[in-house]
Structure 1
């Protein structure tokens, strides 16, 4: 892109400016900006060296403190890394007045460079401002209508790590009309080679409102393909860590994705923003209490994933409590203290009515019994203290009573009994599951033990629910849940347990739900998550998928998600879209070879059953390829993607093989059409649909 001519308002050299624009600065505006970039990189390098040169030998009391401090220093050094191909700053704001100053006083404004992290010089003056700082917000939200006291907004263009262009907007100049940013458009349409990258330079106002929403509230983002919902969720984590770092350092943050391939694809976004401590996991990782070696029918999985199973489990856990039939007699010295059965029953009833965790109540029971004994001692004239109460709670008679009344519960054994003992299940599912549903989830072959059982993914979620009924699950400060539309109600409950005292960012698209238990409404999903108060936001501007592609894919919306607003692509480049009929496997391979002649990544997406056939065809043609989530290289830019793993991924160019086979590969047509919608919307620049079988009629 050519560099715009110098603008006297934008490039006025102020001798007091600390950004390398003093009286000795070069006259060429682009050269001045490059000079500031070089000075900023040098300042960042000095910041890193300062940390590397710290001597902690005399500031730590012991080796444990030294190890902790050294780890913190190592993390700081990593966070201060200068990524050569990542722009250190991408924008500039020239304020009309000093932030916070009285505008009537005429205080001259300051100039701030906006980047991925804060950089200061040797005197501590800022050279680059973190994009999350309040002073940076107008870079994303200022407009002609509301300039937010910004006179000039400048965007920078880069080639690799070199600053090669800039573009100015004079927000306070009424004579200048608002125009679409060419640099912004070019950044949005840049080829997608390698893992997902951050969008910190291109965040839009409606996205920024979500990113900067407070930690105390939960947010649900409904967004169609290419609306940037995943990036918004990740950038919200980065913002919250900036605004509430100490609190989240104590409570923790977690990003939950649909599969390992997806997590691998997004794993570099937060480190690029300087955040290295955010953990990532799938829902299966969270509930991995036992080894998964089995699978359910779709019907059984739907029943096991139904929120009604929580009540069945609650009943089964509480059923272990046995009303006391005999008194407890505690012998201390020459005295015998008797707690009658009716008094024990009152204690048990009170604990049950409190509805606290089974394990917490079991731990409280011996203390309650001991307290009853101490009351009798005091009435007899003795003066027992806390040590006496603890000793009574540990008495063998009390321990025996607790074991009989409130025995320990193993969550996995409990779930195993429910799934293998028809009578046990019938008792606790009465009025909750009907007979047919109970038969559906019962195992045909009972397992001998927890270790040898062929657990399914849905079973592990039941074990997680039972585990929480026994002992409270640890809550994190903030959880991001991506591709949430594919979770069952019981899976939502499992995630919700991880943020009961924290907040959540829920990301998804109802039109892309491809499981038999896919989410029908966000209100219902948020209720299962325990975040009914969450604000639901909808993103409808598409930044990734070209107009022709999203228009074609949107033909499916009336059949898969009636009522959803179709995505409107804002890309200037319409991309290309082509249907190729009666195509053979070698012709599919040739379509891939054709697209490899373009710049960027290429994804060959096919029904799972077709993947082995196409793999052989690619090998026969001498085309090397990767699996989903593997990082592309200049020599290997083709990825062979089973349709079941395409969700969340993106490629510059896509060849979609046999749409009919994608639909037929699912248990029902609606789920198949949703899977097809996902596959159709993975392309950033162009899509070729190849087919020998007739297309689904819903595509027109």
Structure 2
């Protein structure tokens, strides 16, 4: 869904672009209306797959050609063509039009423009709900205000970078190339290509006389092919592959078309809501390579007592999944205690403090996603061995003991909630305590008897 949305956003007329171009030449006015400008844009982008940043010269040529066709249809002589093109192309108003109608864009510029919900909706062609459009526009307006992007946006920026094509580079002037007399270089920038031009020609050197056609031909040559080659790798290692979004797989695919891959994943720990979409994106990235699959079946982290509780959640989260076999026993029996919602943070604090003399290492207090701050307030002044974080931040970590706060909330926060809870339960290497506001739900899920937390 996101890839076609971005493709259409790149092809759309930029926000604030003029919807017509009027030009007067020797008393005759010619006009390109919105429909004509849309056709020029559509035809250029349809013929070339290199992106609009590489098509600026072609866009200028196409606009000038369309203007000339109108003028010719009104009786202009063929011999006037080059003079007309020279005249219009050298005008400041044509440079202003071109910069606005066909701007050179960085990927982040387009992402900022998508802070407009109407632009998102048009690019999505109505396939996103109002809530989804609002969520995206809010995130990208934040990017427009602050310049900050999320880790998921990095993959979108990479996709946009490919769609836009490379920006022009600084091009040094060389002897014999008459950029000093080029009317299309304004303040050191070629208005057609967008290139910054540094002078390397002595000020007193005489340049050759050139025509509009000469300059446009030279500008159209652009960058060397070797500058546009994408970076690729011989071997790609992907850890925690279950958490990659489809757009992140597309980003990796571009860098590993001819690579060998090592992919480590556990679908049961995936925070990505749509497992099928993620699996399809991974399959597309890997292509038809021969695969050698190995299943890791041994659990070295958790004692059997904790592993048994986690296995019950796993069966609910990913039906049919086979839990790894714990190789050791002897951990403390997991406990579940009940508390009221208003006393939940304090109950979690007492549970963590009770664990301090039982373990020598760290104690993780794992909250619902986004819920770490309210709980952390109750932990002011506790030893630094006690660490408060939400369930997503706990991924990849391990603690001697873990206190799971409101497991029922973690499970219900998203379609991936039970998988997130499974991850939280498997962080402890020795002791596990859950503090719940819904003892019936917790007992049914974990198979453990629930006790009431001490007041």
Look up the SS of the partner of 2:424 in the other structure.
Answer: helix
**Would you say 1:412 and 2:168 are equivalent positions?**
no
Which sections of structure 1, spanning at least 5 residues, go unmatched? Answer: 1-307, 330-341, 370-391, 626-637
1:515-664 paired onto structure 2 within 5 Å: 515=272, 517-520=273-276, 523-527=279-283, 530-533=285-288, 535=291, 537-545=293-301, 546-569=303-326, 571=327, 573-582=328-337, 584=347, 585-596=349-360, 601-607=361-367, 609=371, 613=375, 617=379, 619-620=381-382, 623-625=383-385, 639-651=387-399, 653-658=400-405, 661-664=406-409
Which sections of structure 2, spanning at least 5 residues, go unmatched? Answer: 26-35, 64-85, 167-228, 339-346, 448-455
CA shift digits 1:300-358 (9 cap, x unpaired) = xxxxxxxx12212212212349999999x9xxxxxxxxxxxx9xx99984763342233
Q: Which of 507, 514, 524 lines up with 2:271 in the alignment? A: 514
Look up the SS of the partner of 2:275 in the other structure.
Answer: coil
Larger relative contact order (Cα-Cα within 8 Å, sequence gap ≥ 6): 1
* CA shift for structure 1 position 555: 0.8
**Would you say 1:318 and 2:80 are equivalent positions?**
no
CA shift digits 1:179-231 (9 cap, x unpaired) = xxxxxxxxxxxxxxxxxxxxxxxxxxxxxxxxxxxxxxxxxxxxxxxxxxxxx
Match of 2:435 in 1: 691
For 2:60 and 2:140, the matched residues in 1 are separated by 40
For 2:134 and 2:127, the matched residues in 1 are separated by 13
* CA shift for structure 1 position 610: 6.0
Q: Which of 360, 363, 367 lines up with 2:54 in the alignment? A: 360
Contact 2:306 2:333 in 1 (8 A): no
Q: Residues 470 and 666 of structure 1: is their aligned pair in 2 closer, same or farther, counting only changes over 3 Å?
A: farther
* CA shift for structure 1 position 590: 2.3
Contact 1:487 1:518 in 2 (8 A): no
For 2:280 and 2:3, the matched residues in 1 are separated by 16
Contact 1:486 1:519 in 2 (8 A): no
* CA shift for structure 1 position 607: 1.1
Q: Which of 384, 403, 418 lines up with 1:673 in the alignment? A: 418
For 1:644 and 1:349, the matched residues in 2 are separated by 46
* CA shift for structure 1 position 512: 1.1
Contact 2:115 2:144 in 1 (8 A): no
1:65-76 paired onto structure 2 within 5 Å: none
For 1:444 and 1:645, the matched residues in 2 are separated by 20
Q: Which moved further from structure 2: 609-618 or 560-569? A: 609-618
TM-score between both structures, scaled by the size of structure 1: 0.39
Contact 1:603 1:641 in 2 (8 A): no
The alignment's C-alpha RMSD in Å is 4.6
**Would you say 1:479 and 2:236 are equivalent positions?**
yes
Contact 2:402 2:433 in 1 (8 A): yes
Q: Residues 639 and 440 of structure 1: is their aligned pair in 2 closer, same or farther, counting only changes over 3 Å?
A: closer
For 1:411 and 1:314, the matched residues in 2 are separated by 12
More helix by share: 2
For 2:379 and 2:250, the matched residues in 1 are separated by 44
Match of 1:430 in 2: 125
Look up the SS of the partner of 1:508 in the other structure.
Answer: coil
For 2:139 and 2:362, the matched residues in 1 are separated by 45
For 1:690 and 1:681, the matched residues in 2 are separated by 12
For 2:51 and 2:388, the matched residues in 1 are separated by 47
Contact 1:644 1:675 in 2 (8 A): yes
Q: Residues 611 and 541 of structure 1: is their aligned pair in 2 closer, same or farther, counting only changes over 3 Å?
A: farther
TM-score between both structures, scaled by the size of structure 2: 0.57
CA shift digits 1:412-451 (9 cap, x unpaired) = 33333333152x444333264466654554449978x934
Q: Residues 619 and 435 of structure 1: is their aligned pair in 2 closer, same or farther, counting only changes over 3 Å?
A: closer
Q: Residues 554 and 415 of structure 1: is their aligned pair in 2 closer, same or farther, counting only changes over 3 Å?
A: same
For 1:613 and 1:434, the matched residues in 2 are separated by 33
Contact 1:589 1:618 in 2 (8 A): no
For 1:696 and 1:539, the matched residues in 2 are separated by 31
Match of 2:246 in 1: 489
Contact 1:419 1:443 in 2 (8 A): yes
For 2:375 and 2:274, the matched residues in 1 are separated by 30
Q: Residues 689 and 468 of structure 1: is their aligned pair in 2 closer, same or farther, counting only changes over 3 Å?
A: same
Contact 1:485 1:518 in 2 (8 A): no
- How many pairs does the alignment contain? 327
For 2:5 and 2:408, the matched residues in 1 are separated by 35
* CA shift for structure 1 position 403: 5.8
For 1:439 and 1:614, the matched residues in 2 are separated by 30
For 1:363 and 1:503, the matched residues in 2 are separated by 39
